Structure 1
């Protein structure tokens, strides 16, 4: 059953992506999509230099956020925990916005987003951990509080930016208009790294789903595992959120 669902989803992504290539201010007929050798040069430019990078960038960011979300759910042992609900993504957004406010070089978008994301992740984890177990009520309350608190600073930063704050608004709405093949390649690196890391930790994460005590009895160093996994998850969220911010700003 799971294989069938996965196959349907993959086919849906391929179909949606193919149809998206032909949609936009300049419509591309289906016959030209499947016979690019006869298509005009401007059609080739639109497809290869504008639309395909955006589609692939959206897929990569979706893969990074979804993989991070699954891992965070395993660490907190609750399906409600994800980078957005518990405020991790908001922290990454805040770090990237700060980099933009101070007009820092491009690399600092990811650096500040990662640091902000990492700090908030461990603060939320520590505050919601009671007697070695994460309390879901505390987790949600702390996550919402952190998200609201950091969101207030983000709004203040947008106020300081002034008329150009519309760039942040477009970014927060998922703007990928500035995607290029270079940026796709750069984003591909942390994605591959994180997926390999999560795959290597798959058995320990499975044990963690049974509870901390059960995982300890199976020889898993729970605290070390959680620290490593949360660090990589913070890195993934920071790059996916901040890097899309660079696309919107640069």
Structure 2
């Protein structure tokens, strides 16, 4: 099953490189079409896959560590707080590496505040966590709005960036994301058994010698690092981390040894498909920011979860 899905994913990725305002026939390409395929389409598809995998994996980690099925980078305020740092760095004209660093710092600070506000007698309250995430989104959005108002010279780039999109793809950015994703996947795979125990019962995990606080903090930081780097490179792309872990658990179970792989694969698949649709949905060659597409899909999925599983969320 795993290799069949990987093969199907690779086939869809190759097909996505041929789809766009100008469809390319791989068996009859001109030199210009070949350049478009290798220099524009292929790097963009690869970048969308890696960013989608990072967001899908981070959502799976958040839902595990926070024990909230509605947790993802968007609902917990991680994306907006990371975006706050990135927007300030862009507005101040900082170098590219400073954008990612500041996004990580503000993202970790914002998510830590949400995490601490949601603790009730040592346990995470899912309702409080979502409300704290909403408050964090409001505060971050207010500061971002101030930055857009005050730094008028950077307004256009900030607004376009906040919509979320796979733009300004470079080999350096792609390499950074790949290295980070592989490193986090390796760490989570080695600790998958501990994560399975942690997801069931904290007391059992402690009795088995697992340092619950250190493990949770480490994977918490790893997820925020994934989100902050993804946000700093692609803007705010919401709800990928909400949709993907639910689909992964429904189809392949909750074993983290498999869940981390399938969450990454399905996240890559979702964002790649959304970006492909965004390239062709508007006639005439105009592109729709991919963050709009994922927001439509994620909003509908969010309503579905609230309608059909709300009692399990709040009382389960």
Aligned counterparts of 1:205 and 1:188: Cα–Cα separation in 2: 23
**Distance 1:67-1:47 versus aligned 2 partners, 3 A rule:** same
Q: Which residue of 2 aligns with 1:127?
A: 117
- The whole-number CA distance in structure 1 between the counterparts of 2:184 and 2:149 is 35
Q: How does 1:75-154 map to 2 (within 5 A)?
A: 75-154=65-144
Query: What's the counterpart of residue 151 of structure 2?
Result: 161
Query: Would you say how many aligned residue pairs link Structure 1 and Structure 2?
Result: 236
Q: Are positions 1:221 and 2:211 aligned together?
A: yes
CA contact (8 A) 1:121 1:230 kept: no
Mapped to 2, the partners of 1:185 and 1:144 lie a distance apart of 33
Instruction: Give the Cα–Cα distance (whole angstroms) in 2 for the partners of residues 88 and 213 of structure 1.
Output: 28
User: Could you tell me how far 1:171 is from its partner in structure 2?
Assistant: 2.4
Question: Could you tell which deviates more after superposition, 63-72 or 195-204?
Answer: 195-204
Structure 1 residue 164, shift from structure 2 partner: 4.4
The aligned counterpart of 1:174 is: 164
Q: Per-residue displacement from partner, 1:180-238 (whole Å, max 9, x unpaired)?
A: 23321122121111111221221111111113222212221111111111111111111
Residues 1:17 and 2:13 are matched in the alignment: yes
Matched, 1:73 2:63: yes
Q: Which residue of 2 aligns with 1:44?
A: 34
Q: Which residue of 2 aligns with 1:35?
A: none
Structure 2 length-normalised TM = 0.69
1:114–1:238 Cα contact (<8 Å) kept = yes
Q: Which residue of 2 aligns with 1:239?
A: 229
Q: For residues 123 and 65 of structure 1, what CA distance do their matches in structure 2 show?
A: 21
RMSD over aligned CA atoms reads 2.1
Q: Which runs of 5+ in 2 are unaligned?
A: 236-288, 290-316
Match of 2:23 among 23, 27, 35: 27
Q: CA deviation at 1:88?
A: 0.6
Q: Please state how far the C-alpha of 1:64 moved relative to its aligned partner.
A: 0.6
2:45 counterpart residue number: 55
- Unpaired runs of 5+ in structure 1? 33-38
